[in-house]
A and B are shown apart, each in its own frame.
Chain A
Amino acid sequence: MTEQVDILEARPSAWQRLRDSHLWHSFVTDRVAQLSLLVFVAFALMALLAPLLAPFNPYDPAQIDILNSELPPSWEEGGDPAFWLGTDAQGRDLWSTILYGTRISLTIGLCAVALQAALGIVIGLLAGYFGGRIDSLLMRFADVQLSFSTMMVAIVVLAVFQATFGTELYQRLAMLMLILVIGIAEWPQYARTIRASVLAEKRKEYVDAARVIGLRPARIMFRHILPNTLSPILVISTVQVANAIISEASLSFLGLGMPVSQPSLGSLISSGFEYIFSGAWWITVIPGGVLIALVLVMNLLGDWLRDVLNPKLYKG
């Protein structure tokens, strides 16, 4: 009935479409982003393959010899070629401990952010979509949560837990507790971002179209609106993982984080701190450098993503 004269050209393959995309183009022209991604992938591989890469298992007491404690890195005078980054105060190989520590730090960071995101997305969607009283209530709740700093909440909760249930139980559940505390303390960041995007998306006509079809609110929220708010979620997620890693490190440094037997990067830094003036600088400085590098590349990636995905800077 209507003549067919509009001809769309052959559809490029998925790979071709990625090559033509703005994301890819800005990636190949941005050195900082490339380097950051490279470093991040290296860290991720280190964490993932820690049991294969590490020459020693720092959790296995049989492989630890107290006589090897505080050995300097292999290039320093008195270093042992078996321990190329030296050993810590308990005689653990620092390289192996850092590999396992990165694994723990990243796990806690990712899991905490997954928890934050799950809470924040649901709350943000509800507040933004329904508006009115639900919105006011949830957002005031978020304000209250934000007015306590993450560290304060974490310190209070973890200290109370430690005092109530004892150190032993705490050490067993340390990782879970850290994930829960950091995850719950930071959800308002997500909720606010999602709510703002939902408010913008909700006004678009495709949402009205979905309502006219008769779809239920849950389906509209998750199937229609949520996929369109993924860009800001991606941007804040990278930054939030970095923040969560920092929070974990800070808590560990204060003695409320991972136990010495299973050190994260933070507790490693903390454990070496006592020896820094006795000359064993490497126990603190090397994990510290790793932590800084990890957090830095994540923040750089987050900045790059925000620049690329921000529709105000780029319309296409």
Chain B
Amino acid sequence: MTTTVPTTVTTAAESLVQIENLYKRFSISGDFLEQLKLRGGKLVREQEHVHAINGVTLDVRKGEALCVVGESGCGKSTVARTVMGLLSPSGGSIGYQGKRIDNLSDRQLIPYRRKMQMIFQNPYASLNPRMTIAQTLEEPVRFHNPKASAAEVRDKVYEVMQSVGIDPSWGKRYAHEFSGGQRQRISIARALAVDPEFIVADEPISALDVSIQAQVLNLMMDAQEKRNLTYLFITHDLAVVEHFGTRVAVMYLGSLCELAPTKTLFPSPRHPYTQALLSAIPRLETGRPGHIKLKGEVPTPVNLPSGCVFHGRCPHADERCKREIPQLIATDEGGQVACHAVEEGRI
């Protein structure tokens, strides 16, 4: 098959995807007419926004599995969808191998589409119920290789189906004839069908049962090894991250708290939020090593707290945390953390 974008020779730690100072807001004020309000006898236009991402900078390195973790509403899925161009950023930029891609038109994006693919969370919604599995898998192959003959397309579909452990003779069936785990395999097959180099996986296993989760994770790891894939893996499950991730990015309320190699993050988390998150994982061990209790609840992303977004729940917060937004600083362990207390050596 032909490659439309020239690839350069890469080194091991070369950055593949660059997320620069990304912002994303969603308006929650309805359409134009609903935004008009009377204020003191004057007609003004008012808009309220959900601040889903607030200045996230990340780079995904070639060959790694970068895991983004955080609780619901922290903006991790929004990051994934913005990287894939399903949402356009309100600020900042997305780059792929140094070329900016967030401002490209649909047509200009097509060469990148075959390099970047996505796996979705809900195996029951991510396959078109009115298409057979073969149709679902043939579509991307045909679209990106318009010159391919019918036999070539069939061979490609056969190959990807086999590589995800789905019997190619089942191609004539519809998605509802398969179990959740099998559908997720098919979903992975669709992503692999165009031979991508980068895959964004948005909570790909959280809708599956434990025994099936293991199957799907193994499949993704096998694919990574065989096809030299790079993953951006979005999840809320820290146990999976520990197993799967090369590096971990912890998000809270649309901001990046900590970014560190998995090997160092789990034994020595630096950010107070990461510490609380890690201590809350239910473990099989006897006894209960008391988890760190956070006060209060996650504030709404409509009115962001001033300063550090975590200050209201942080046991180490002081005046500076309420005023000043912390910047990412490098730690001794090779990670980065955005916390005044860590910077000042208080924790």
Contacts and interface: CB of A to CB of B under 8 A. Distances in A.
Interface of A: 1-4, 6, 8, 11, 136, 204-206, 208-216, 224, 227-228, 230
B127 interface: yes
Contacts of B116: 212
| A contacts with B: majority SS | helix
B113 A212 contact: yes
Given A6-B182, A206-B127, A206-B128, A213 B165 contact: no
Interface string B193-216: 010000000000000000000010
Contacts of B126: 204-206, 208-209
Nearest to A131: B31
B71 interface: no
A214 B190 contact: no
A214 B179 contact: no
A8 B163 contact: no
B304 interface: no
21 contacts: A2-B218, A8-B170, A11-B173, A136-B32, A204-B126, A205-B121, A205-B125, A206-B129, A208-B86, A208-B120, A209-B120, A210-B139, A211-B86, A213-B139, A213-B144, A213-B190, A214-B109, A214-B110, A224-B131, A227-B128, A227-B130
A2 B163 CA distance: 8
Nearest to B200: A212
Nearest to B216: A2
Interface string B117-153: 1101110011111110000000110011000000000
Interface in B216-250: 218-219, 222
B164 interface: yes
Contact of B84 (A1, A206, A212): A212
A4 B167 contact: yes
B332 interface: no
A49 to B, nearest CB: 35
A230 B222 CA distance: 39
A204 B123 CA distance: 11
Contacts of B143: 213-215
A6 B173 CA distance: 15
Interface hub of A2, A136, A212, A214 (most chain B Cβ within 10 A):
A212
Nearest to A6: B182
B319 interface: no
Interface of B: 31-32, 81, 84-86, 106, 109-110, 113-114, 116-118, 120-122, 125-131, 139-140, 143-144, 163-165, 167, 170, 172-173, 177-179, 182, 187, 190, 194, 215, 218-219, 222
A214 B111 CA distance: 9
Nearest first, the 10 A-B pairs at minimum CB distance are A2-B165, A214-B113, A205-B126, A227-B130, A205-B120, A204-B125, A206-B128, A213-B140, A205-B125, A214-B110
A214 B110 CA distance: 6
A224 B190 CA distance: 15
Nearest to B165: A2
Interface hub of B121, B131, B222 (most chain A Cβ within 10 A):
B131
Given A2-B164, A11-B173, A228-B129, A209 B118 contact: yes
A117 to B, nearest CB: 18
A216 to B, nearest CB: 7
A228 B120 contact: no
B84 A2 contact: no
Contacts of B120: 205, 208-209
Given A8-B170, A11-B173, A206-B129, 15 more contacts: A2-B164, A6-B179, A8-B177, A8-B178, A136-B31, A208-B118, A208-B120, A210-B139, A212-B84, A213-B190, A214-B106, A214-B109, A216-B106, A224-B128, A227-B130
A214 B215 CA distance: 29
Contacts of A205: 120-122, 125-126
Contacts of A206: 125-129
B110 A8 contact: no
B130 A228 contact: yes
Contacts of A204: 125-126
A227 B215 CA distance: 32
A1 B110 CA distance: 31
A209 B140 CA distance: 10
B176 to A, nearest CB: 9
A1 B162 CA distance: 9
Nearest to A5: B165
A213 B179 CA distance: 24
A307 B170 CA distance: 32
A2 B215 contact: yes
A198 to B, nearest CB: 14
A173 B210 CA distance: 68
Contacts of B86: 208, 211-212
Contacts of B194: 213
